[in-house]
Structure 1
Amino acid sequence: SGSRHKGLLTANDMASWSATIEAPLTYDYHGWTIAKTGPWGQGPVFLQTLSILKGFDLAAMDPAGADFVHTVAEAMKLAFADREVYYGDPDFSEVPVAHLLSETYAVERRKLVGADASFDLRPGIVPGFEAQHDLTMKMLGEDSRTGTVYEPTMAHLSEKRGDTVHIDVIDRDGNMVSVTPSGGWLQSSPTVPGLGFCLNSRAQMFWLKSGLPTSLAPGKRPRTTLTPSLGLYEGRPTLAFGTPGGDQQEQWQLSFFLRYAHHRLNLQAAIDQPLFHTSHFPSSFYPRTREPGSLMVEANFGTDVLAALARRGHKLTVAEEWTIGRLTAARRDADGLMRAAATPRLMQAYAVGR
């Protein structure tokens, strides 16, 4: 702007900050317990989608077939719609996580997964949070636009350098780490009009409208998209997995996990299956656009599957083969045998053991 302005952070903000240790959110699913971040991130989306899908026989579906893709995509749309209304830093506002993950709620949400693709943003109504629902939906109607979603973390198609990474590590003693580090990329962050500086990639996920779980406030965590995953099988820590990818992180991870859990594919085979994601809900990144009914799919699903999805009403964008997703995973068996896998897409990921 050519003028002096105060920034968002003070020296005291930095001096008084310290990292915290929190209990993860967990959900039990067909012998697995999946651990995710709390609602200050988008981790509960994964768990909510599992709760909806628990009522479908995914094991009987072709993991690369139209029924599987349609069912998973429609369930994800419902979970992401709830993210928009209810998620935020629980240190600052109540987040009804227990209700969102309850079987009672899942039964009602499950009924909304129909034969055709939905084009509506359909968050559920949580008792006691009706005003928050209405305020958020009104704001999204005013400030969230439809159109092409420009996802900064899909920037592998450009010349830009720097992006989120993901790392899964398991040591000989069974200690497991799943982490998704990410910085603040100036090239993908909007400049604040009249002030002349950028909010970083995470701070732009705040809304500058008061009264919402994701409204900007001192000391508050933004609703980050970073969402690593840990899995326990029959109570035993077993699996670490994740991916870079903004709003797609939860979606790519979910496809991988469901194929691994239901179809008995090994780690690499599950990662290598063709991938898909939707931009049906508002993007976490500026300018917060959404593409109702959208579904990006890799071409290697095949023409029959793509045609079946189109008949169900999905607004398809067909990507080249081997271009969607950057998944990695590591596993430790009960006998101590270690396994790891990494996507061959984009030639960026590695699986290493020693």
Structure 2
Amino acid sequence: MFTTRPTLQGTHGMVSSTHWLASQSAMAVLEDGGNAFDAAVAAGFVLHVVEPHLNGPAGEVPIILAPAGSAPTVLCGQGPAPAGATIDHYTSLGLDLVPGTGPLAAAVPGAFDAWMLLLRDHGTKQLAEVLKYAIGYAEGGHPAVERVGETVETVRELFETEWTTSAELYLPGGKAPAPGRLLKNPALAATWRRLLAEAEAAGPGRETRIDAARRIWREGFIAEALAEAAARPTMDSSGERHAGTLTRDDLAAFSAGYEPPATYDWNGWTVCKAGPWSQGPVFLQQLALLPPGLTADDYGTPDYLHTLIEGGKLAMADREAWYGDAADVPLDDLLSAPYNDERRALIGERASHELRPGRPGGREPRLSKQALAAVARAASHAPGPATAPGAGEPTVGPDGTTRGDTCHLDVVDRWGNMVAATPSGGWLQSNPVIPALGFPLGTRLQMTWLDPGLPASLTPGRRPRTTLTPSLALRDGTPVMAFGTPGGDQQDQWSTHFFLAVALRPSVRSGLDLQGAIDAPNWHQESFPSSFHPRAMAAGKVVIESRIGEPAIAELRRRGHDVTVGGAWTEGRLCAVARDPDTGVLLAAANPRGAQGYAAGR
């Protein structure tokens, strides 16, 4: 099997992320005696700097961690809707969807506190030791990747006419960041230096200073600047200026927290995901819908592709009807054998162009009016609503080209600690840059509905349903692999295909290894309402890499799939690390698409 790179192997530590500077910064922490959790925090803050079009400090991050000798757990860095974010407030403004940009879309930022908890509870390094890499790149500059400038150009007019603080940082002299030119963010570096100085003044002790940093974020100068930015009327994707609902009280009340993962056992593997406040269980439902007896010989055949595509449609339909944080989710029923036997029977010879949520435990599904409108438009082939510049999460273009959206990182160390994290939100096109801080607010509330009574309804104090979905897999009860990808709604489609490329083989080092599984041709389907503004749907559409080959493409079309053939290397931005439980050998691989993700290790 051809691979673009070798799967890295070693014994000291392994890192994979969506940017080489984050991977190497994490590796530097491991070389300096830090553990996987120290390294992950360092990489997370570097990603805020080097991928500002994909994430930021005021965004969010779900983290799955498996400390050596302990069970996996989820650390939730997804903040809730502010106290003032009621459906009545938004509809009183004449809105039927939460805007895709601007302060009305801002949830309580959750990423910073989650990184701090990970460092305090599981790391070993001082806060200053893990922040120094991000500070260095923000202060001294980093060579801008091509996508930064491309993203800035898409929102140039907005920056120059409305979000002028963003133009000052990202359009100096009227020029967007050129590929390879040093991009600096001195305001962000100054923010972290001030945070460190105030935290160190709180007293000696690693935990004391980390907790002080958390208070500064929630109650100090950072909270003050965030709340002021949220209160400022700002042009958003609705075409009007609105103030947000985020206040200092909301910021002070939030704390990241731990919770058990959602899990599913399949062929000797146990896959761990964040709960149904995320889309993570979509991955688990896809496994539950697979036909019994699937083998390596099935992998990549037209039957295999058709089965996975159709199973993904059923899982995504259930996500639309049942997932969210505003109501109890019948996850046990959704993952039960009787339910999935019944659902599997719906997969026929022909592609479905419908949205078909199930009835777990006999419950009747209910969808948002806007979701139903998206379904109706898709069924009639009517054009969807236009997307405003910067709105949503730009993932894949009409030709299948991946345009970027989010970040991911995985780390495993020599002690067997393992972590997967998907930081996102607060990207440069989400809200105006806050001059005093060097970064903008996020927009995760766009994933909520303005219909009352739904699991994903906008609800004060409840988390918006997120697409962010890191993965951790165990083999016979032992943590073996951490993996994930950016990609919005595509994440659990690309990740499932990757996982099966590994799991259908007897070990992580035979057959399709990690790099081969990442390199394998991938695809996604769009037969469900998008999680991002303006919430469009494309019934029956499958975007597929050309490398899958004309015979498979022709067979999918014969079965009724609306196939768009993308470029040869356009689907997925996967990262993965692993630990062979028999030998202790560590492995890592990263996505070659876009020439940005890299693994590092020794």
Same fold (TM over 0.5): yes
Q: Which residue of 1 aligns with 2:157?
A: none
Pick from 560, 563, 566: which aligns with 1:316? 563
Counterparts in 2 of 1:188 and 1:313: CA distance versus 1, 3 Å: farther
Asked whether 1:270 is paired with 2:501, we answer no
Q: Which has the larger radius of gyration?
A: 2
Query: Which residue is equivalent to 2:449?
Result: 207
- Residue 290 and residue 167 in structure 1: after superposition, are their counterparts in 2 closer, same or farther (change >3 A)? same
* Structure 1 pair 293–30 and aligned structure 2 pair: CA distance change class (3 A): same
Deviations 1:158-181 (A, max 9, x none): 9x8x84110010011111100000
The aligned residue for residue 300 of structure 1 is 547
Q: Hey, what does 1:41 align to over in structure 2?
A: 278
**Aligned 1:1-354 pairs, distance under 5 A:** 7-55=244-292, 57-61=294-298, 63-89=299-325, 92-127=326-361, 129-130=363-364, 133-134=365-366, 136=367, 140-142=371-373, 145-146=377-378, 147=383, 152-154=394-396, 163-185=405-427, 187=429, 200-263=442-505, 264-334=511-581, 335-354=583-602
Amino acid at match of 2:373: E
C-alpha contact (below 8 Å) 2:317/2:356 kept by paired residues: yes
Aligned twin of 1:194: none
Q: Distance in 1 between matches of 2:279 and 2:498?
A: 17
Secondary structure at the aligned position of 1:21 is classed as strand
Equivalents in 1 of 2:482, 2:303: separation in Å?
27
Q: Render the CA deviation track for 1:35-81: whole Å, top value 9, x for unaligned.
A: 000000000000011001153524331x2321111111100000000
- Deviation of residue 11 (structure 1)? 0.7
CA distance in 2, matches of 1:152, 1:66: 29
- RMSD, aligned CA: 2.4
CA 1:67–1:140 in structure 2 vs 1: closer, same or farther (change >3 Å)? same
Cα offsets for 1:17-44 (capped at 9, x unmatched): 0001010001000010000000000000
CA distance in 2, matches of 1:314, 1:163: 26
Q: CA–CA distance in 2 between the matches of 1:26 and 1:122?
A: 24
Supply the distance in 2 between the matched residues of 1:4 and 1:313 (Cα, whole angstroms): 44
Q: What secondary structure sits across from 1:177 in the alignment? A: strand
Question: Residue 188 of structure 1 contacts residue 201 of structure 1 at CA under 8 Å; is this kept in 2?
Answer: yes
Structure 1 contact 29–54 (Cα < 8 Å) conserved: no
Shift of 1:96: 0.2
Kindly state the Cα deviation for residue 337 of structure 1 after the two structures are TM-superposed: 0.4
- Higher RCO (Cα < 8 Å, 6 or more apart): 2
Structure 2 distance, partners of 1:172, 1:154, is 37
Q: Is the 8 A contact 2:317 2:528 kept in 1?
A: yes
> What are structure 2's unaligned runs of at least 5 residues?
1-232, 235-239, 388-392, 432-439, 506-510
Measure, in 2, the Cα distance between the counterparts of 1:183 and 1:7: 16
Q: Which structure shows the higher helix fraction?
A: 2
Shift in Å, 1:142: 3.2
* Amino acid in the other structure paired with 2:408: H
- In the aligned structure 2, how far is the partner of 1:84 from the partner of 1:154? 20
Q: Is the 8 A contact 1:228 1:243 kept in 2?
A: yes
Tell me, yes or no, if the aligned pair for 2:284 and 2:335 is still in contact at 8 Å.
yes
* Structure 1 match to 2:3: none
- 1:234 is matched by which residue type in structure 2? D
Q: Tell me the amino acid that sits aligned with residue 248 of structure 1.
A: Q
Do the aligned residues in 1 keep the contact of 2:368 with 2:449 (CA within 8 Å)? no
Q: Could you tell me how far 1:259 is from its partner in structure 2?
A: 1.2
Greater mean deviation of Cα atoms: 29-38 or 118-127? 118-127
Asked if 2 retains the 8 angstrom alpha-carbon contact of 1:207 and 1:215, the reply is yes
- Residue deviations 1:204-233 (CA, integer Å, cap 9, x gap): 000011111111111110110000000001
Question: 1 CA distance for matches of 2:241 and 2:557?
Answer: 53
Give the superposition deviation at 1:304.
Answer: 1.0
- The percentage of aligned residue pairs carrying the same residue is 52
Aligned length: 338
Tell me the distance in 1 between the aligned counterparts of 2:412 and 2:485: 16
Deviations, residues 219-268 of structure 1 (Å, cap 9, x unaligned): 11011000000000111111000000000000000000011111441111
The amino acid that maps onto 2:564 is: T
TM value normalised by structure 2: 0.53
* CA shift in 2, pair 1:154/1:187, >3 Å: farther
Could you say what secondary structure the match of 1:253 adopts?
A: helix
Q: Distance in 2 between matches of 1:228 and 1:125?
A: 27
The residue number in structure 2 matching 1:192 is none
Which residue does the alignment assign to 2:98? none
Partners of 2:497 and 2:414 in 1: how far apart? 28
Say if 1:4 and 1:59 are closer, same or farther in 2 by CA, change over 3 A.
Answer: closer
Give how far 1:184 is off: 2.6
1:143 and 1:117 map into 2 onto residues whose CA distance is: 19
Helix, strand or coil: the match of 1:113? coil
